[in-house]
Amino acid sequence: MTEHYYSSNPSVQSKPFTFETILKGHSLLFTSDLGVFSKKEIDFGSRLLIEAFVIPEVSGGLLDVGCGYGPIGLTLGKEYPDRYITMVDINERALDLAEKNRIQNSVLNVKIYKSDLFNDIKERSFAAILTNPPIRTGKKNVYEIFERSYEYLTSGGELWIVIQKKQGAPSAIEKLQSIFNVVEVVAKKKGYYIIKSKKC
C-alpha cells in the first residue's frame, strides 16, 4: 500500500531540512522532512488561508486540524499571543517537527498532540477552527471535519478552510451550507477558495 502524509508513522527515510519564510508579517523558521505534507515549502493553499484569516470577535482558543509541521497554528500563535492554539495531526513525524518548530520560533501559547481528526480532542468551544483538509483521504473524512467542527465551535465561532475548485470547492460549499448558518467565500486565488463558515 502506498504511504501518504496522513500515515501515522511514515516509514520513508528521514532527511530533515530547515527553511525560513514570512507569514502574516512574521519571519519564521521551519524544519520539514520527507513523509509530511508539502515538505519542500509552505503550500500555496495554507499560505492563502493564513493570510486571509481574521480572528473572530468571540472569545476562545483556535484549533488547527491536520497541522502538519505547523505553519498555520504556529503563525497564528505568533499573531495572536493572547489566544491559545491547539494543533493536532495523525502523523507522528509531522507532530515531532511541529514541536521542534514551536521551540525554534519561541511560540509559547500552543499545545500539539496526536489526534485522528477530532477523536482525541477533549476541549470544546473553540472560537475558530482552521484546516487545509486532507483531500486525498476522501470526501468522507473531509466532510467529517466540516460536521464535527460545528460541534467543537462556540456560538459565533468560525470554521476556516482552504480547498481548490478542482478538488470540490463548489460541493464543499453546499455541504457547509447544510451545516452552518452563514457560509462565505472570503478569498479566491489561482483556483483556491478560502471559505468561512459561522456557527450562529
Cell of 32: 520539514
Structural domain spans, the chain = 17-198
What is the rounded CA–CA span in Å between residue 10 and residue 34? 8
pTM of the model: 0.93
Task: Give the residue among 128, 79, 132, 70 at the shortest CA–CA distance from 103.
Answer: 70
What separation in angstroms does the CA of 19 have from each of 33, 71, 87, 120? 11, 12, 21, 31
Per-residue pLDDT for 156 more than 90?
Answer: yes
Whole-angstrom CA distances from 21 to 18, 24, 90, 116 are 10, 10, 25, 28
What is the DSSP secondary-structure string of 3-63?
A: --TT-SS--SPP--EEEEEEETTEEEEEEE-TTSTT-SS--HHHHHHHHH----SS-S-EE
Q: What is the pLDDT of residues 32-60, one digit of tens each?
A: 999 998 888 999 999 999 999 999 999 99
Residue 124 has pLDDT above 90, yes or no: yes
Give the tens place of pLDDT for each residue, 81-90. 999 999 999 9
110, 87 Cβ separation under 8 angstroms: yes
Q: Is residue 62 within 8 Å of residue 127, measured between CB atoms?
A: yes
Are the beta carbons of 198 and 169 closer than 8 angstroms?
Answer: no
Q: Is the dihedral of CA 126, 128, 132, 137 positive or negative?
A: positive
Give the pLDDT of residue 7.
54
What class has domain 17-198?
alpha beta
Contact 192, 48 (CB under 8 A): yes
- The pLDDT, as a whole number, for residue 2 is 39
With beta carbons less than 8 A apart as the criterion, state whether 36 and 93 touch.
yes
What local confidence, expressed as pLDDT, does residue 34 receive?
Answer: 92
